[in-house]
Amino acid sequence: MTLKIPYLLAMASLLLGVMPATAQVRGEYLITNHGARGDGSFDNAPIINDLINRLSNYGGSIVIPHGDFRINSPVVIRKSHVTLRGLGRSSKLIVGAGVGDGILLPDEAPRISGIVIRDLHVAGSDWGLYQTGLKVDRASDGIHIIGASFTGLSRAMFLRATDAVQVSGCDVTQSQSSLFMAGGFMGLVTRNRFSGFSGGIAVELADLDRIEFSSNIISPDGFTALQLRNAHACNISGNSITAWYTGAVEIDGNMNLISGNNITAVQVNGGWLPDPRGRDGLWGLVRIRGNDNSFTSSSIMSWQPENNIRVNVVSGERNTLRDLTIGAVGSNKKVNVNPAAAWTRITHCGWPQETALNGNSTVRIHYDP
């Protein structure tokens, strides 16, 4: 049998412990092997950024071990296929005082791909400054944020123009805004916990197409729990949402499916809190604007004052409400349809005395049997 020369060369390279010239090995750097210190005061940003810059165009991993690794300037990622990973919640990046962004993908060309942030805790330290834990401010493909934790930040994650992004298994606490996504399509946001302090919108999805937002828990003390703004063909399903104010869920866009969610509006210390934005009880706990949106098979338990609006179809055409369970405090406006909303379809969402049509003759309605 005659062996081919390339085969012989490859076997010889393996036996000698030498990789063939065409093989590429991605680097992995443990930051403490290069002088980083997790004592909460040493500035580790120059070391981490230097290690990222050492990575080839084929990418690699930067590993943050257990410890409190302070950064006094952003960790900046400018190349594709970079993984920044910790070993769990005790692997912490502390964004130092006066630093606006923790991890930054700056607004530059060209597009960037394959960035992974996982198993890492990013913590703010300066409430006097608007601090963002992760800021993706450039066009990108396939960014994955997995198992990350964010605390003490004005905004945990800012993601702009991120196509096919995945945010899963993350935990955001003590932050005004958990997630802001603007632009992009085909993203997945699932199995996260979003909560925090008052003053912000917990989850804001703007100018997006075909985003799946499922199996998340949102429990903020904020103005709005979930806001879709100019978002289209998104799937909002299986989420648990708790709110302290009206306007908990706001849908603005077309052909969105909001299904199988559990939405609860609660009192605090035995009373309903005054709305920080001055929205009155006619605003709507769930507010819908746009065309062909479908709000179905969801449970709404609201302790809003009597006769406040639970579901408000404000404007648009052919929006559908189906099989909604709306309970707790009674209301003659559990479902409200404004005159500007044409051809709204309502099926099995309550009784006639709980539905306000405001003279809208285009509504098509089937009450509970």
Domain annotation for the chain: domains and CATH numbers:
93-366 (2.160.20.10)
Q: Omega before 110 cis (within 30°)?
A: yes
Mean pLDDT rounded to a whole number for the chain: 91
Does residue 1 register a pLDDT over 80? no
pLDDT band at 369 (very low <50, low <70, confident <90, very high): low
Both tokens assigned to 77: 């990622």
Q: Quick one: pLDDT at residue 367?
A: 82
Burial pattern 237-265, b for ≥16 Cβ within 10 A else e, equals bbbebbbbbbbbbbbbbbbbbbbebebbb
The answer, yes or no, to whether residue 317 has pLDDT greater than 50, is: yes
pLDDT 10s digits, 98-142: 999 999 999 998 999 999 999 999 999 998 999 999 999 999 999
Nearest residue to 68 via CA among 41, 38, 45, 96: 38
Identify the pLDDT of residue 221: 76
Q: What is the pLDDT of residue 26?
A: 53
Q: What average pLDDT score do residues 40-55 get?
A: 97
140 close to 108: Cβ distance less than 8 angstroms: no
Contacts of 184 (CB under 8 A, 6+ apart): 159, 160, 161, 162, 163, 164, 165, 208, 209, 211
Give the pLDDT score at 8: 47
What residues have CB less than 8 Å from 121, skipping those under 6 apart? 86, 88, 89, 90, 91, 92, 93, 148, 149, 150, 151
Reported as a pLDDT band with limits 50, 70 and 90, residue 261 is very high
Residue 299 CA to residue 234 CA, distance in Å, equals 19
Q: Is residue 17 scored above 60 in pLDDT?
A: no
Q: How confident is the model at residue 255 (pLDDT cuts 50, 70, 90)?
A: very high
Which amino acid makes up residue 249? V
Q: What is the pLDDT of residue 318?
A: 98
Q: Which of 131, 110, 115, 219 is nearest to 167 (CA)?
A: 115
Closest CA to 202 of 235, 224, 233, 173: 224
Q: Whose CA is closest to 338, among 301, 293, 287, 303?
A: 287
Query: Span 198-220, mean pLDDT?
Result: 93
Q: Which tops the pLDDT comparison, 9 or 190? A: 190
**H runs (alpha helix) in 252-362:** none
pLDDT, residue 364, reads 94
- pLDDT value, residue 350: 85
Identify the three-state secondary structure at position 339: coil
- Report whether pLDDT(338) > 60: yes
Confidence of residue 9 (pLDDT cuts 50, 70, 90): very low
At residue 27 the predicted structure's pLDDT band, cuts being 50, 70 and 90, is confident
pLDDT over 90 for what percent of the chain?
83
**Residues 89, 67: contact at Cβ < 8 Å?**
no
Report strand pairing: 217-220 vs 240-243: parallel
Contact 206, 181 (CB under 8 A): yes
Which helix (H) or strand (E) segment holds residue 64: the answer is strand 60-64
Closest alpha carbon to 156 in 137, 129, 174: 174
Q: So what's the pLDDT on residue 57?
A: 86
- CA neighbor of 194 nearest in space, from 213, 216, 212, 211: 216
pLDDT at 171: 97
Name the percent of the chain in helix, strand, coil, to the closest 5.
10, 45, 45
- Average pLDDT over every residue of 193-204: 87
Per-residue pLDDT at 196: 75
List Cβ neighbours of 175 (8 Å cut-off, separation of 6 or more): 124, 133, 150, 151, 152, 153, 154, 155, 156, 196, 197, 200
Enter the tokens of residue 191.
Answer: 């199995």
Residue 16 pLDDT: 46
